[in-house]
Chains A and B, each alone.
Chain A
Amino acid sequence: MFYPNALFGNLLIVAFGSAFLTYVLGKISQSLRNGFAIIISLVLVLMVAGLYGLGKEIVYFRFFDYPLLLRINALSWFFAITITVLSTLSIIFSLSYMRDTPQLDFYYLMMLLVNASMLGIVLAGDLISFYVFWEIMSWSIFLLVSYNKGPALAAGLKYIVISLVGSLCMLVGILSLYTHCGTFDISQLAVLIASAPHGYIVFILLMFCIAFGIKNGIMPLHTWVPSAYSESPSPFTAVLSGILAKMGTFGFLMIFYILLGWRVFLYLGQGVLSFHYILCIIAAITIVIPNFIAVLQDDAKKLLAWSSIGQCGYILLGIAFGTSLGLAGGIFHFFNHAIFKALLFLAIGAVEFRTNGVRDLNSLGGLVNKMPVTFMATLVGACGLIGIPLTNGFVSKWLIYKTLILKGSPFLAFAALLGTWGSFLAIYKLLHNVFLGQPSETHKNIKSAPFTMQIAMAILSIATIVFGIFPGLALNIINSIGISLGFESLDVNLWGIASETGTLNTINIFGAIVVFMFIVYIIFRTGAKSVLVPQDDSYAAGSYIPEGKYHYTVDFYNPFLRMVRPWLKDRIDQFYYWISSTSEKLAELVRRIYTGDLGYYVIYIILFLAVLIFTQLIWKPW
């Protein structure tokens, strides 16, 4: 076959080239640039789709005689298609969301650049290209997070400082691997690393896990997430939460199962003290605590950000647990989370757009009649997030729970199930406070979301439900990923998974719910007619109802919060701030040494020489 090879060779050139071309076109005409951005992202979707089932590698560049590789396999194809589809939808959404903001050329350039760099990451065949694309992505994220200036700048700075720590850790890991094995090629490393001592492998894993954990927002490394998510422009937040953060997931998969292979990875250490089990425990903590912190938030996007951290815990839990069911659950949850979290961020973005940037949950309310499409989108996204049957989130969580229970890890399963309740409370608060209850006076004349926003949200909502009813569509591909990573095959069919210890059959559930909704509705209709009364015509059992509008869901979970608030402080963030302020003080102390007076410097040199001579005389180390 000729054309898949040509497609593959030119994919990154098209992706990067078009990003810069978009910037140039923007200088000529606004609509030309918008049209080009959408067309090029659609072209990228088609190009990646054309690569389906391809498994090959090419040398795209020689760097001092060192070949840099691109490689495609089932795993990278799955990530690549998710990336391109989601960024296309996000760019469509941006058309009306970003309409009246300055520096749009720059915005589109960065969006496409992020898209291209992510494609580079998942297709990279050696660690050098991986690192280069990783850095392009990290810096583009920084520029986009701080796009809105003001508080966004601080959020971006926080992100980039933490991200740099991760990048440095990864660099140490890569260089150490090079000195140890003498190559950057991932497939050669996978052969060479198998003979390395366990201590060394754990060191390498630790370095990479810090880097990927930071990007993914795993619990002790999550602190950049809430501020960066809440301050960035909403269409970009959807991409950031949906796929950019999941580059960490891709990294985990690459390092665990491609570089090391499960035979090495799952047998580092003994029982509870093995490396993957400790990762599982970290993932479980990441599920429980952020999901309950999300309940405390009053800012819509912060709430979603915390809940994103929690969902990343599920993904890591599935991946690190290392059974074929768990792996399938983890990868599928990555895919699902990309869909429904992007959907939720876009929906909140639409609300933000129509209310002129209001994100405070306590001043919104009653928007359901004004923005019905947005409400439905949020409802579907919320159901996916909680994992109600018939949405995709249910299937992936079911896979993870099942493997946890059957492999005898009830405490991890308990943490995962409990996290569901945290996300249930949090997301219901979001749904209720934005769309239900009484509308605020200032939002009486709100219009429905613009058409391009509705299209993006509708596509994602439909995807949430379709992958919930026919999970086999994605699970087949995920199953082939699992097989390519050396796991045993699962018995996947279009609507679920069959096995002797419990089957999942979504079509039954779907049929039952639809049939009974219909029956109940018919019976309901045969009852006596009801009269439609205005919302504020309430029955109060003779007691007094306050005049005027008020938002009675403020402090919705108060009795509960009074009990748990002291437990849920973000101590880790405070700890990082403590480190940064202490190091600043230390630096201040160091600075005092440099007085600027030449005489002092001469004294320092003489003192240093004296110390050296003294040491030599006494201990004779040289």
Chain B
Amino acid sequence: MARIHWRYGPPLTQPVIDIIKLFHQKSFSHGVIFELGLILSLAGSVVTLLFIPIGTICPLNVAGGLLVVLYLMLLAPIGIALSGGGGSNPNISIGISRKMLLALSYEVPFLLVVLTVMIHYKTISLVSLVELQRASGWGIISLPLTGIAYFLILPAMLGIRPFDMVEAPQEIASGLKVEYSGKFLVVYYIEHALRRFIVIALFVNLLLGGAGEPFTFLVKMLVVFVICVCINAVFPRFRMEQAIRFNWTWPTMLALAGLVIACIWGGYG
């Protein structure tokens, strides 16, 4: 990222160092809800990860498939939002409000994308989705519009520019995480990183064919991530209304068209 900005950035190991350092620092708490909400969100993200096949590794593949993942992904925002409600900082409140609305705006195309993929491959299990794609080629080739739609909402789902109004350090002092210090910030960072990992892993699984072994899978994820970082580096920030409007026009239209095509192709009335 710094390379794109033509400046020197911190080393790659900096996040790890930060986390170890923060973990041993003194922190401030606002009570039980403040702490439990955060723990709930991290646990929710970890559990979600267990349902997503990384290569062939998928610890909980028999427990309900993609629909469970969709709903488990709600645990983390609820946890964070509850935790934020325990404090009384106006910046948190603005952050939560923006996070919820942003989520609503990207969920519309996202749900369409997920449904298209499920309809196209006639299964609700992520593992069999990956197997079917390995047999018949990547999903993005047979469902190009859907693939483009997912790619357009990726920045919003990852919370990076041009959709980083949830954090917006310059406007609302990083929003949600403004009250977190020490180990709270550690949990928040890890949760945030996991969230990004989940979103990209879903993209790879749904449309880029997944992978036979974890290494190929991680390489695919890395490629997607680097592209996203490039987008992050060159764009300014949207306002809230602009973000909602964007997500509800182009990605939604593309995803809807993709769904209609998949329906006709699949022979449904």
Contact B28 A417, beta carbon cutoff 8 Å? no
Say how far B258's CB is from chain A's closest CB, in angstroms: 11
How far does the alpha carbon of A562 sit from the alpha carbon of B43 in the complex, in Å? 35
Nearest residue (CB) in B for A531 is B28
Binding-face segment, B75-83, B155-163, B209-217, B223-231: B75-83
Contact B64 A553, beta carbon cutoff 8 Å? no
Query: With A425-B104, A512-B47 in contact, do A536 and B88 touch (Cβ < 8 Å)?
Result: yes
Main secondary structure of the interface of B (DSSP, over half): helix
How far does the alpha carbon of A529 sit from the alpha carbon of B24 in the complex, in Å? 9
Say how far A443's CB is from chain B's closest CB, in angstroms: 15
Question: In A125-169, which residues have CB < 8 Å from any B CB?
Answer: none
Which residues from chain A contact B186 at a C-beta distance below 8 Å? Answer: 527
Which residues from chain A contact B67 at a C-beta distance below 8 Å? Answer: 398, 401-402
B173 in complex: contacting residue of A383, A402, A540, CB < 8 Å = A540
Determine whether A405 belongs to the interface, using a CB cutoff of 8 Å to chain B. yes
Determine whether B135 belongs to the interface, using a CB cutoff of 8 Å to chain A. no
Contact B50 A528, beta carbon cutoff 8 Å? no
How far does the alpha carbon of A534 sit from the alpha carbon of B92 in the complex, in Å? 16
Question: In B127-175, which residues have CB < 8 Å from any A CB?
Answer: 173-174
Binding-face segment, B2-10, B110-118, B200-208: B110-118
Q: Mark B25-48, 1 if CB is under 8 A from A, else 0.
A: 111111101010001101110110
Nearest residue (CB) in B for A386 is B74
Contact A559 B240, beta carbon cutoff 8 Å? yes
How far does the alpha carbon of A503 sit from the alpha carbon of B88 in the complex, in Å? 43
Contact B100 A425, beta carbon cutoff 8 Å? yes
A533 in complex: contacting residue of B23, B29, B93, B108, CB < 8 Å = B29
Q: Mark A501-512, 1 if CB is under 8 A from B, else 0.
A: 111111011001
Contact A388 B85, beta carbon cutoff 8 Å? no
Determine whether A539 belongs to the interface, using a CB cutoff of 8 Å to chain B. yes
Question: In A537-557, which residues have CB < 8 Å from any B CB?
Answer: 537-541, 543, 545-546, 552-553, 556-557
Say how far A400's CB is from chain B's closest CB, in angstroms: 10
Contact B47 A552, beta carbon cutoff 8 Å? no
Which residues from chain B contact A388 at a C-beta distance below 8 Å? Answer: 71, 74-75, 78
How far does the alpha carbon of A401 sit from the alpha carbon of B30 in the complex, in Å? 39
Known contacts A503-B62, A530-B35; 14 further A-B pairs (Cβ under 8 A): A410-B263, A410-B268, A432-B85, A432-B96, A503-B63, A509-B68, A527-B27, A528-B26, A528-B183, A540-B178, A541-B178, A557-B101, A560-B104, A563-B244
**Sample (12) of A-B pairs whose CB atoms are under 8 Å apart:** A379-B82, A406-B122, A409-B268, A437-B85, A502-B125, A509-B47, A512-B47, A512-B60, A517-B40, A527-B186, A528-B25, A557-B101
Which B residues lie at the A interface, using CB under 8 A?
23-31, 33, 35, 39-40, 42-44, 46-47, 50, 60, 62-65, 67-68, 70-72, 74-75, 78, 81-82, 85-91, 93, 96-98, 100-101, 103-104, 107-108, 111-112, 115-116, 118-119, 122-125, 173-174, 178-179, 182-184, 186-187, 240-241, 244-245, 259, 262-263, 266, 268-269
